[in-house]
Structure 1
Amino acid sequence: MWEPTIVPRSLDVELPRLRLVDRLAGRWERPVTVVVAGAGFGKTTVVAQAVRAHLLEPRGVDVWVGCAPVHESAEALAGALLQALQGVGAARGARGVVDAVVRMAPLDVCLVLDDVHEIPSGSPGAGLLAELVRNLPATAHLVLCGRELPELPLARREAAGEVLRVGVEELSFTGTEVRALGRALGRDPALAGAVRGWPALVRLAFAAGPAAPWRYAREEIIARLPEDHRAALVALAALHTATDDEVAAVTGEPVALADLARRVPLVCVLEDGRYRAHELWAQALSAETRRLHRRAAEVLTARGDLARAGALAQRSGDWELLAELAVVLVNTTLSALPDVTARRWLDWVPDSARDAPAFLLLQAAVLHARDFADPRIDPLLDRAWQGLKHTAVLGQAVITAHSRADLPRLAELARRAGELRGAPTAIALVLRHSVAATVAEVGGDPEAALAEIERAPVVDVPRPVALATVRFHYHCLNMCGRAGEAADLADSALADADEQHLRLNGPVARWFDGDPADLALLRGAPLDGTARDCFVSAAFQAVIAACCGDAGDWCPLPCGDPAGHDNPRDAVLACAARAAVAVGGGDEAVARRTFAEHLARWPVADRFHERHLRRFLALGYVLSDGLRAVWDRTELGPSHAKARAAARALVLARSGDVGPATRLPFEHALCFLPLPWSVELAARLAAVGDLGLGGWLADVLGPVVHRWLRSATPRAGAARLLAAVPPPPATRTRVDVLGAMRVTRDGAPVDPPELRRVRVRQLLGALVVRPAVTREQACGLLWPDLDPADAARNLRVTLTHLRRLLDPDRARGDASFHLRTTGDTIRLVRSRWLDVDLWRLDALSADVRAARAEGDLDRAKELLAEAVELWRGEPLPDLADLPDAEPGLEADRLRALHGRNLLDLGELCLVSGEPSRAGYLADRALARDPFAPRAHRLLLAAALKGRDPARVTAARATVEAALAQLGAPADGATALLLRQALPPTGDREQRGAVVSSWR
């Protein structure tokens, strides 16, 4: 069961605000609740009271997040919400939060965001909140509590009556509440008569004296405190929330915050044991805070809360401290600088301090985040280096120089690395090795670069620093021709990265190692990341597209004109992309000219240039005689050697020697050669009787191979392949096995005589489950009691009927497109011309997982609806009586999958405001399994959301009957919904029993 969320306790003696708690109960009736008032109006206290009151009669799950300055970052805010929801998934941002809420359906979820004023308008965090407001699921509610709100799109919801607002008038104490608090504290209510119900001032007036204004009251309280308590209050106010040890680290003396909370109003203990001073104390003690703010900033920095530490420095006007924090900010984020925070800090800095080295560094980092080629960056960094000699300056300078492939600058930075002050920290070691590695790589020696970067630590450094190190390590492995190792590194370190282009690093490296296992992920992958990331990705994807026959989807200049780049690295990328698209389109002459023009401008003798050319070695080897001569006498890394072998096989085959081509793995022909070249190689092999490569390419890539075969040379080999490798059929065939087997062609049902044969249906069903079987396995499955000769004869007859069923337009003597027999193996070939509902169901399941991982719930809902519609009845009925256990296990798997799909779709319908459809799906799920707790919950929640008393009563009766039949109590979530389903005037003992079983 979900653990109760941690909410703040009262900031003082808890005065039950029943009128407000009742009003805030309306947050479960409306999607958005807004509580806005100035400091000291008890916003947090009354919302916390409402949350705790809800625990007595729960209607769903409350999730509390206290906002902080760091949450101006969308990533930090999303992370906090996901952590509170106990569901960090693959999806990031608002989509990930929405998906985490949806995964809790059918339970309602209320997200409470306290201190939302810490998220400024226009910040990425405010943008995430705006997206959340727009896409709030029907089972979600949002409470925003703070001194002010960022700009949010609430107008449409307010017009629809979907927003509850609580402000100053509602939060102010009434006369009755003032008298109640006075009685609780043993004070005369007249003492608070002049503060007009302002809760914090009412409490202070009772503590400090008659009708005291705020300044006088705080002076009275502070003046009465012993020195050690005053220092502890100053430290706690600076830290916002803290433990005894953290406050002691600031004051330098042991402290007992429990004593402080007893003596000082508006200081409270939170439910996780930390203490908090009200914001009013932070404002009141700002002058005294200056004595201890540096040590407080150290504690905040150690927590990783640089944003709050910076705000503390700004509040106390300590620009020297802010400068120190600026260096830490750059040093711990490098290329992942939080741009919003950095720009805000620069806006705070007065003109008199802007030329401090630390702020020059911060300015340079902000400029780099916008445009790494900005000419102002290097001068700013040089001035910062003269004053700091710090790893942060060096790291930022290296990142900028490497982005421009500026070798002279990198050489100068390598010299500076020896000037770093102090003992080598983990970050200093990373930078020293990274600088040396970068210089070596730009100097054309990636092996030396790899040796350096492997020595750089990736533990005890901030994640952005570790990520940058891993990415450069990955790059060096690829440059050394060790793409297989690069793929392993990417799989272990980058597979869960936020950016898709980083998650695809493993599949890309595998491709350039000759392994097309991830082809489905790579084809058509969107370009994302920074402008440079998109540029590099475009080059690699253009080359992959040319190998797959997709070059027509690319423009002739995917990365711009190669002549338009002022460094050989980027010019190589542009050259390879243009040449690959040209070859992929059948214009090898253009590709040769592209390489010739590029090599005329950038000599191959340049080591840096030549090593980058190896990234696309097969292209250069075939298109340039000069490059071929260089690489034939060069020792290459494993991946580059594979590419050379593929290119060399084509060149030799063109000269009449197909020997190397016969030994070439099919996968290497696909991964290293544009499709026209791999088809040409297949045709040359077919001319000497080797049809393997052509048939394999046709199976993997489909009809595009036949299109190229019709124009491939030599003509005799191409003709042999065209005759042996069946062309795509004229019609599309669909086989349905989720229910009684049926076959359609181009969408029209057919009833050929072959379909009436039981053995034909059984063999087809078995091949659907396991697309490749041996003849012996097929005989043993269908005719276990016959001798081998009779079973083999029956199999030949059955295969003839099955071919006629699947390929009715096949000419006599032609190979079957859908059914292939190679040696002893029978295969049912997947293609766009053969659709099987079981295959489609599994593909939909994978697509649903991907859609939910991306937070695309509408897409997931559409896919689930399609999956549910595929189900027509008992799956694979023709295989039910076969002795093999595998069909039975497959049928069990499919039944379970269908049940999950019904409930997944029902929960998504519920969160998108379709309770009737959700209830219908719950009924279907319960028809299959009357005792499924998840289906019980969906049925109850759908009835409750539909607000139909009759359906609520019927749902409750259905669930209670199932529980009674089982003789088991309801689980916690089901009990919560059962309790809500009880009528308001229901029997008290019954209510108590339900609540007791839940607890």
Structure 2
Amino acid sequence: MQRHNTRLTLLAAGAGMGKTAALAIAIQENRLTPRGTDWWLACQPGDADAQHLLASLGVAAQIGPISDPEQLSSTIAGMAPEPVCIIFDDLHHLGAQPNEANQLIQWLCDQLPSNAHLVLSTRREPPLALSRWEAQRQLARITPADLLLTEDEVLAVCGAEGMNLGGWPALVSLASQGVDYVRFIEEEVLPHLSQSERLALNHLAALREADQTTLEDLTATEPAVLAPIPLVSHRADTWEAHRLWPDVLDIDAEPIRQAAFRSLMERGEHQAAVDLMLRTDGPDQHLLAAVAQVIVSKHQTPATKVRSWASSFPSRLHDSPEFSFIDGLALRADRPSSPQCRDAFDAAATGFKERGDIEAEATALGQVVFSTYVSRDMARLTASMQRVGQLAVAGSRTAHQITTIGGAMMALAAGHPQAVVDRVGQLDTERLAPTLASLAKWMEAGALAQLGRPSSEVARASSDLWPHLPGTADSLMWALLREGAWQQIIEMIDSEPRLAGSRDRFLWLAFRAGALSCLGRLDEADQCLFEAGKIRDTTNWRALVQLHMVEAVQALQRGDIATAKDRMVLSTRDHPVASAARAMYLVAPRLVLELTPEHRDDLVAHLTGPLHRRDLELFDALLAWRSGSPDELAGVEWPNQPGELLTALFLDGMVEFLLAATECGRPEVWPAWNWLFATIGEPARALVRHATSSASKGQAKAAVTVLAEVPVPPTNPRRLRILGQSQLMIGETMVQTADWRRERVRSLLGYLVLNPVATREAATAALWPDADSDSARRNLRTTLNLLQRVLEPSRMSGDAPYFVRSDGATLSLDTQCLQVDLWDFEAAIDAAVQLRSDGLASQATDHLDAAIDLYKGEFLEDADEAEWVADQRWTLRSRLLTALIDSAQSHLAMQQVDKALAHAMRATAMEPWSEPAHRLVLECLVERGDTAEARRAAVRCAETLAEVGGAADARLAELLQRLAGPGQR
């Protein structure tokens, strides 16, 4: 327990949770390694009287009778700076109301000096105002969950028979001795619960789990009363009782469950109602009624919940349409096109039809329509839509909405993307249910992609309307890829999203493998392909085509043309370009155009949209260049953003294209090179480096030029510390080379930190002021080369430097991948100054403290004393002194005396003649109650100020007068 680091520590937990044992261990640890003084008071019912409590405190502290809390405060202040911790065990004996004893505890919390700390151990939340301390992060809470034994500890104490006790320490101990632990609960826990606590516990035990609102509805009690009770957990808005409680409590659970069910249904919490009925094996009619409401609800049911429902649904109800629908949803998450999924929804639709429930039937048919669309089963899709049309005529609102998008769905399934765009454009999607509106936008995005037009905006709208619509997880990713938005793609593939099922996981893995291949991250792509292959739906031909295409891209990036060609020959043989697979081949035309050129005409006939034409024109220009005809590449329309080149040609093709464009002198090539190296880094540079020896003479020359002109951002950031002893980190490794130990190398870097753009003349004048011009220039050249080697030890010969660049007479320091403590120090100070000028002084304190922590010593402490170094040191010391004084004032105002005193004393050590710093030291010591030390500090202050002469300011003079001894006034 870190009780000496915080003002208050609160342990609120029920009987037998090991509070006293934990306190005893903490006190024993402090005796072994002292950090302060502990006073332990085990409260008794008599301590509910304030005077009795004071007397008990005197005994616990071994300081004799105490009649006044001020006496206790003075005693503790006299022990400063040693921390004193008062431990109140069993504080609940003082009562649950704000009586005089609790008011005394409140006074101790608020008024004791800053070296005092309190631990409050109780069975329930005490009636104290603690929010101020919590807001100041001076209140540490230890919850019942923190006191539970781990499974290993339970096994060690009483073996497997104790595993059903939830880690409750007292129960585990009793069970290990063969003692009836139920009797302990009946005698030591239940009688001490208040009426409201017992009522809330009974209801929660009956329900096993309940949300805040349900408990409030049923008990008219704030559920927070449950917090200290053992084996009751709380997360977000949900409370849960351990399974031990229903076995121990003598309650009639059924009326409570029925009331909870009614409350949930009335509030529209239908999913929670299903959970309740399945968890408690509730009446069948209630379960089916709740599921029926879920079916027609507009709210999305998470795939994990659906699977849980399907697995726990009573077998006696497996013939019900409600179960068939839930089973279909569970199957849809993993295999939306499978026959089993369609059959489950078909069975649900049939069952609802027999009941005459047209809304539920229409909802089930909507799922059939989606499943048959995904599998391109046109016959069943058409038949299902006909029945939906009949239900719409019969008055089903759900069926009417499905018919509005049915035409678009059938057009997309039939391969008529323009008809889809036209039909969706005629829809008022705002009037559709979210799931149908999302589906409409998803189809529109797919149609736009087939037409070779931008679709990311529409795909994003689909995702926003209904996230994770099964089978659609990759729609937005492919749209962004087609538009060349690789920065967004990299962010998406580097953080796995929340996926609905194995189908969506396959789509994400396959997309990620292709994207990683284009980025040159081939080992990661291998792993993705392996995982995708394990979960591929073998009945889905699209999955197979997608894997073949990704494997072809990956082989191209490895230079394995034969394997790439084999993959595409196999794919186009089984799923020809002229078939429904054409929509997939349109996503990456290069694969067909280069690897299976015999299918070129079939594909080109459909490359009609702007994105398609872009891909075709870029590839044909590259193809012409390979054939010795540069005119087409010299005149091809340059894409709006460099990422489009990566999309159209992949990494190997983009590098080849850019080298050709460099050779023929296209000016647009240089921003593209910068983007490529910044985005992809070493894999791209390795291809360029390879071209210096393997490409044609012209391209090899272009590759050499590119390497010398365009730097690659480092994979590991550099962190520089120049406040104090200089230190340079590359990633997590400290630089300790002989070059870095050269004083002039560190000084040159420090100079560039202060002057990120500087002339060579200015740099030589600063670092070698006494050298002649030739010697100074020679020194700068040598030192600059050493600095380049320090900053980029792995940079290859001929490669452009990244951090320090030279442009004739000018040196520039790139700041993108360099973190410098000096920059952070000044940024923190500037932010604090701005906040204080805006009247937000309290918010400035964190920035000031951050700046103070960064200042580990003088600027370039280990460098020679030069004029520019001395000037910078003086400037930084002035800023630090101001920060220390301002921060100390803020902390003192917030009663954080120790931190204020530390800053003030650092300020006086740094600037002994600073009156504001001396005044703050005295004010902190007075506030802490350390009068003796305050008087000694006052004497030192007076002596120091006497050395420089002049009178102290009024506030300081008044403090000095007040603290002066009788003979010094």
Category of TM-score, reference length = shorter chain: 0.5 to 0.7
Flag the 1:686–1:838 CA change in 2: closer, same or farther, 3 A.
farther
Contact map agreement 2:412 2:420 (CA 8 A) in 1: yes
Contact map agreement 2:719 2:820 (CA 8 A) in 1: yes
CA distance in structure 1 between the aligned counterparts of 2:189 and 2:783, rounded to whole angstroms: 92
Q: Post-superposition shift, 1:52?
A: 5.8
Q: Post-superposition shift, 1:149?
A: 12
Q: 1:686 aligns with which of 641, 657, 662?
A: 662
CA distance in structure 2 between the aligned counterparts of 1:484 and 1:829, rounded to whole angstroms: 37
Q: Does 2:586 align with 1:614?
A: yes
Find the counterpart in structure 2 of residue 761 from structure 1. Answer: 750
Counterpart mapping for 1:652-731 below 5 A: 652-655=624-627, 656-657=629-630, 658-660=633-635, 663-664=638-639, 665-689=641-665, 692=670, 693-694=672-673, 697-709=676-688, 710-711=690-691, 712-726=694-708
Q: Post-superposition shift, 1:684?
A: 1.8
Contact map agreement 1:582 1:588 (CA 8 A) in 2: yes
Q: Does 2:140 align with 1:108?
A: yes
Contact map agreement 1:562 1:571 (CA 8 A) in 2: no
Contact map agreement 1:754 1:804 (CA 8 A) in 2: no
CA distance in structure 2 between the aligned counterparts of 1:241 and 1:675, rounded to whole angstroms: 59
Q: Post-superposition shift, 1:533?
A: 2.0
Q: Post-superposition shift, 1:548?
A: 1.8
CA distance in structure 2 between the aligned counterparts of 1:570 and 1:751, rounded to whole angstroms: 54
Q: Post-superposition shift, 1:579?
A: 0.8
CA deviations over 1:594-621 (Å, ceiling 9, x no partner): 2233222223233x42222222334344
Counterpart mapping for 1:302-701 below 5 A: 305-307=272-274, 310=277, 315=282, 317-319=283-285, 321-332=286-297, 333=300, 336=303, 338-339=305-306, 342-343=309-310, 346-347=313-314, 350=316, 354-368=318-332, 372=336, 375-388=339-352, 389=358, 390-402=361-373, 404-420=375-391, 431-432=402-403, 435-449=406-420, 478=449, 481=452, 483=454, 485-486=456-457, 489=460, 493=464, 509-518=479-488, 521=491, 525=495, 529=499, 530-555=501-526, 559-560=532-533, 566-606=539-579, 608-625=580-597, 628-630=600-602, 632-634=604-606, 636-637=608-609, 639-655=611-627, 656-657=629-630, 658-660=633-635, 663-664=638-639, 665-689=641-665, 692=670, 693-694=672-673, 697-701=676-680
Flag the 1:574–1:463 CA change in 2: closer, same or farther, 3 A.
same
Flag the 1:650–1:342 CA change in 2: closer, same or farther, 3 A.
same
Work out the percentage of aligned pairs sharing the same amino acid.
16
- Give the 3-state SS of the residue equivalent to 2:581 in structure 1: helix
One-letter code of the match for 1:704? P
CA distance in structure 2 between the aligned counterparts of 1:152 and 1:569, rounded to whole angstroms: 51
CA distance in structure 2 between the aligned counterparts of 1:635 and 1:735, rounded to whole angstroms: 49
Flag the 1:868–1:639 CA change in 2: closer, same or farther, 3 A.
farther
Flag the 1:318–1:630 CA change in 2: closer, same or farther, 3 A.
closer
Q: Post-superposition shift, 1:485?
A: 3.2
Flag the 1:715–1:540 CA change in 2: closer, same or farther, 3 A.
farther
One-letter code of the match for 1:516? W
Contact map agreement 1:686 1:718 (CA 8 A) in 2: no
Q: 2:788 aligns with which of 793, 802, 806?
A: 806
CA distance in structure 1 between the aligned counterparts of 2:609 and 2:124, rounded to whole angstroms: 54
Contact map agreement 1:358 1:384 (CA 8 A) in 2: yes
Count of aligned pairs: 702
Find the counterpart in structure 1 of residue 69 from structure 2. Answer: none
Contact map agreement 2:717 2:818 (CA 8 A) in 1: yes
Q: 2:183 aligns with which of 169, 174, 190?
A: 169
RMSD value over aligned CA atoms?
Answer: 7.0
The more displaced of 501-510 and 539-548 is 501-510
Flag the 1:573–1:284 CA change in 2: closer, same or farther, 3 A.
closer
Q: Post-superposition shift, 1:762?
A: 2.1
Contact map agreement 1:414 1:436 (CA 8 A) in 2: no
Flag the 1:155–1:133 CA change in 2: closer, same or farther, 3 A.
closer
- Give the 3-state SS of the residue equivalent to 1:736 in structure 2: strand
Contact map agreement 2:324 2:348 (CA 8 A) in 1: yes
One-letter code of the match for 1:384? A
- Give the 3-state SS of the residue equivalent to 2:391 in structure 1: coil
One-letter code of the match for 1:602? H
CA distance in structure 1 between the aligned counterparts of 2:535 and 2:329, rounded to whole angstroms: 29
- Give the 3-state SS of the residue equivalent to 1:338 in structure 2: helix
CA distance in structure 1 between the aligned counterparts of 2:885 and 2:170, rounded to whole angstroms: 36
CA distance in structure 1 between the aligned counterparts of 2:540 and 2:389, rounded to whole angstroms: 28
Q: 1:739 aligns with which of 723, 747, 756?
A: 723
Q: Post-superposition shift, 1:737?
A: 3.6
Q: Post-superposition shift, 1:577?
A: 0.5
Q: 2:19 aligns with which of 20, 26, 31?
A: 26
Q: Post-superposition shift, 1:573?
A: 1.2
Q: Post-superposition shift, 1:583?
A: 0.6
Counterpart mapping for 1:112-131 below 5 A: none
One-letter code of the match for 1:591? A
CA distance in structure 1 between the aligned counterparts of 2:653 and 2:681, rounded to whole angstroms: 16
Q: Post-superposition shift, 1:582?
A: 0.6
Q: Post-superposition shift, 1:331?
A: 4.0
Flag the 1:586–1:967 CA change in 2: closer, same or farther, 3 A.
farther
Q: Post-superposition shift, 1:721?
A: 1.8
- Give the 3-state SS of the residue equivalent to 2:486 in structure 1: coil
CA deviations over 1:141-176 (Å, ceiling 9, x no partner): xxxxxxx9996873999989999x996434547999
The higher relative CO (CA closer than 8 Å, separation ≥ 6) is in: 1
CA distance in structure 2 between the aligned counterparts of 1:827 and 1:563, rounded to whole angstroms: 52
CA distance in structure 2 between the aligned counterparts of 1:811 and 1:380, rounded to whole angstroms: 62
Contact map agreement 1:820 1:827 (CA 8 A) in 2: yes
Flag the 1:338–1:798 CA change in 2: closer, same or farther, 3 A.
same
Unaligned 5+ segments in structure 1 are 1-18, 32-45, 66-85, 87-101, 114-128, 137-147, 182-197, 204-235, 244-265, 768-772, 785-790, 846-866, 900-924, 941-960, 970-999
Contact map agreement 1:931 1:962 (CA 8 A) in 2: no
TM-score (norm 1): 0.53
CA deviations over 1:898-944 (Å, ceiling 9, x no partner): x9xxxxxxxxxxxxxxxxxxxxxxxxx9998685499988989xxxx
Contact map agreement 1:24 1:50 (CA 8 A) in 2: no
CA distance in structure 2 between the aligned counterparts of 1:501 and 1:930, rounded to whole angstroms: 59
- Give the 3-state SS of the residue equivalent to 2:526 in structure 1: coil
Query: Which structure would you say has the larger Rg?
Result: 2
Find the counterpart in structure 2 of residue 216 from structure 1. Answer: none
TM-score (norm 2): 0.55
One-letter code of the match for 2:546? L
Q: Post-superposition shift, 1:375?
A: 4.3
Find the counterpart in structure 2 of residue 997 from structure 1. Answer: none
Q: Post-superposition shift, 1:269?
A: 4.7
Contact map agreement 1:580 1:591 (CA 8 A) in 2: yes
CA distance in structure 1 between the aligned counterparts of 2:476 and 2:653, rounded to whole angstroms: 26
Flag the 1:743–1:49 CA change in 2: closer, same or farther, 3 A.
closer
Contact map agreement 2:171 2:181 (CA 8 A) in 1: no
